[in-house]
Amino acid sequence: MTTYEALNERTVVVYLREQLPEFFDANAPLIAREIGDGNLNQVFIVRNERDPQQALVLKQALPFLRVAGESWPLTRERVRFESQALLLYNKIVLGLAPEVYLYDAEMSVLVMEYLGSHEVMRKPLVSRARFPQFADHISTFLAEVLFKTSDLYLSGLEKKTLQAQFINPHLCKIQEDFVYTNPYMSSPENQWNPEIDAEVREVRSNSTLKFAIAEMKASYMTQTQALIHSDLHTGSIMVNETDTRVIDPEFSFFGPMGYDLGALFANLVLNYVSHFAHTKDEQTRQDYQRYLLNLIRDIWLQFAQKFEALWVANNTGELVPSAYWLYPDGDAAFASYRNKYLENLLQDAAGHGACEMLRRMMGIVTVWDISSISDLSQRAVVERYAIRIGSRWVMEHKSLTSVDDLINIVEEETRNRH
Ligand code: ADP
Ligand code: MG
């Protein structure tokens, strides 16, 4: 197929036989199922009926935003960003993203490894599942990808050449609008629980808060630190007991590193607050909530340690070359520069994560952890916690110096208040 057409469960099989003739046994009966639970694209699982292990996933962009229908055009080029990012992830650190089998620009198709023994992380977190390897895996992923696409590792020429492949204005615009702008003003697509009307109004008219959010938006729009995933919530991570994969990097571009860490922390906090409604038994709830906060702490501490170790061992980038530190106090100065860099990164993570938390309470998309709470007044309790935590994370982000400062805000804002 050379010209674009939207595939369906029948034509996807024909397409794959032509494009990837080696993948499936020659006469194998193939069945396709469209499983896209996502908001944007169609996703097919195609498998050999006789050997279900022989399977792959085909993702295709439609020329519009799937949730909104044809009234919302969106460039199909998003599959290019997703394919390029997955290929790069696998090159930088093997086994933390699905393997890419094919990228077809004309058809806006990405064919990748089927993660049949993994599940999207969000729902199991609501059922209080624990993933013992997760902090280790995701901190490795973030440290490796963020460091190795930054000016700390790459020359200016290398970095800017790579950055040029990731100029992703249409998908950036979605986050600029829906993470940093529209939720905090009147806009027709916004949705919120009517029981938190007062809190939503308060957010929209709090100048200190709005200055702080605008500062994070400026960072998102102008800080080209590294290749970020830019939608790293718990629905973009597939996990099992022993393995972790990052999926769906169609929003990826060169932006602030703190956005990815922040989105992840924010979604773990949203899960944390959701258990005030989901988990009635106090002891069970507290145990799991403690697990979530420890997870945030572990992710940060392991990330910081791995990121710094990479930097010390590979200070090959444009920003602060090794020769720059060749003076008597240079070693100590470089060490405290690294420290400061990581502190800024933690503060950015709090600020960006806060915007992610707040927008999920009053913008175009919520999270299932919270939307699945059917009792609106119970849901409001949870949402008020998230709004208070998010507001403090962003307004206070410049004064947070350790991950425990972020965690303390979560505990302070949810202690004895439900
Ligand atoms: P969208 O960009 O439309 O949000 P996603 O990339 O999030 O699409 O994929 C939608 C869903 O398809 C995921 O939530 C997951 O359930 C499933 N999925 C995506 N990629 C894979 C994969 N490689 N293996 C198995 N399931 C997958
Ligand atoms: Mg998705």
CA-nearest residue, atom 25 of ligand 1:
115
Of ligand 1's listed atoms, the one at least distance from the Cα of 35 is: 12
Q: Which residues lie at CB < 5 A from ion ligand 2?
A: 38, 248
Rounded to a whole number of angstroms, the CA Rg of the chain reads: 22
| pLDDT, tens digit (0-9, with 9 covering 90-100), for 379-408 | 999 999 999 999 999 999 999 999 999 999
Are 181 and 190 within 8 A, CB to CB? no
Residue 244 in this model has a pLDDT that exceeds 90: yes
User: At 112, is the secondary structure helix, strand, or coil?
Assistant: strand
CA-nearest residue, atom 8 of ligand 1:
38
Are 150 and 257 within 8 A, CB to CB? yes
Residue 39 in this model has a pLDDT that exceeds 70: no
Are 98 and 82 within 8 A, CB to CB? no
Q: What percent of the chain has pLDDT over 90?
A: 94
Q: Which of 122, 62, 51 is nearest to 367 (CA)?
A: 122
Are 344 and 245 within 8 A, CB to CB? no
CA-nearest residue, atom 15 of ligand 1:
120
Please report the pLDDT score of residue 151 as a whole number.
Answer: 98
Q: Which ligand is nearest to the CA of 47?
A: 1
Average pLDDT rounded to a whole number, residues 214-218: 98
User: Ligand 1 centre and the CA of 41: distance in Å?
Assistant: 9
Please report the pLDDT score of residue 276 as a whole number.
Answer: 98
Residues with CB under 6 A from ligand 1: 35-41, 43, 57, 59, 98, 112-115, 120, 235, 247-248, 250
- Which of the listed residues 112, 171, 238, 367 should we mutate to test ligand 1's pocket, taking the one with most ligand atoms within 8 A of CB? 238
Integer angstrom CA distances of residue 82 from 89, 106, 108, 167: 10, 15, 10, 12
Q: Is 311 left (phi over 0), alpha (psi -120 to 50) or beta?
A: alpha
User: Ligand 2 centre and the CA of 234: distance in Å?
Assistant: 10
User: Ligand 2 centre and the CA of 233: distance in Å?
Assistant: 9
Q: Could you give the CA distance from residue 345 to residue 59 in angstroms, rounded to a whole number? A: 33
Are 230 and 255 within 8 A, CB to CB? yes
| pLDDT, tens digit (0-9, with 9 covering 90-100), for 246-295 | 999 999 999 999 999 999 999 999 999 999 999 999 999 999 999 999 99
Of ligand 1's listed atoms, the one at least distance from the Cα of 43 is: 12
User: Ligand 2 centre and the CA of 39: distance in Å?
Assistant: 6
In the chain, the domains with their CATH numbers are 11-113 (3.30.200.20), 119-414 (3.90.1200.10)
Mean pLDDT computed over every residue of the chain: 96
Q: Could you give the CA distance from residue 315 to residue 331 in angstroms, rounded to a whole number? A: 13
